[in-house]
């Protein structure tokens, strides 16, 4: 039997950052190993006001001078 392959996926959305790690023994035999979710709430209120709130904008990372 071949060694299992470890797979990780990151989903970065406007309201949450998710991390999933799984162990795959075959294409149909996949075992979830670890899952985490970090709420960001960047998109909170965007659908109602069509813009980010001032508080959310203040939390945005600042551009790097090296970009």
> What pLDDT does residue 1 have?
60
Confirm whether 67 is domain-assigned.
no
Q: Distance between CA 63 and CA 8 in Å, rounded?
A: 28
Task: State pTM to two decimals.
Answer: 0.65
Q: Distance between CA 54 and CA 64 in Å, rounded?
A: 21
> What pLDDT does residue 37 have?
93
Q: Distance between CA 20 and CA 42 in Å, rounded?
A: 21
Q: Which tokens is 10 given? A: 């990151």
Domain tally, the chain: 1
- Can you give the CATH number for the domain in which 19 is found? 3.30.420.40
Confirm whether 66 is domain-assigned.
no
> What pLDDT does residue 67 have?
53
Query: Could you read off the pLDDT of 1-49 as tens digits, one per residue?
Result: 689 999 999 998 888 899 999 999 999 999 999 999 988 887 777 778 8
């Amino acid at each position: 039997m071949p060694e299992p392959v470890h797979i990780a996926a990151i989903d970065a959305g406007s309201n949450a950052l998710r991390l999933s790690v799984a162990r795959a023994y075959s294409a149909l035999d996949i075992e979830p190993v670890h899952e985490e979710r970090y709420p960001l709430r960047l998109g909170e209120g965007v659908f109602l006001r069509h813009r980010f709130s001032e508080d959310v904008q203040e939390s945005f990372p600042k551009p790097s001078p090296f970009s």
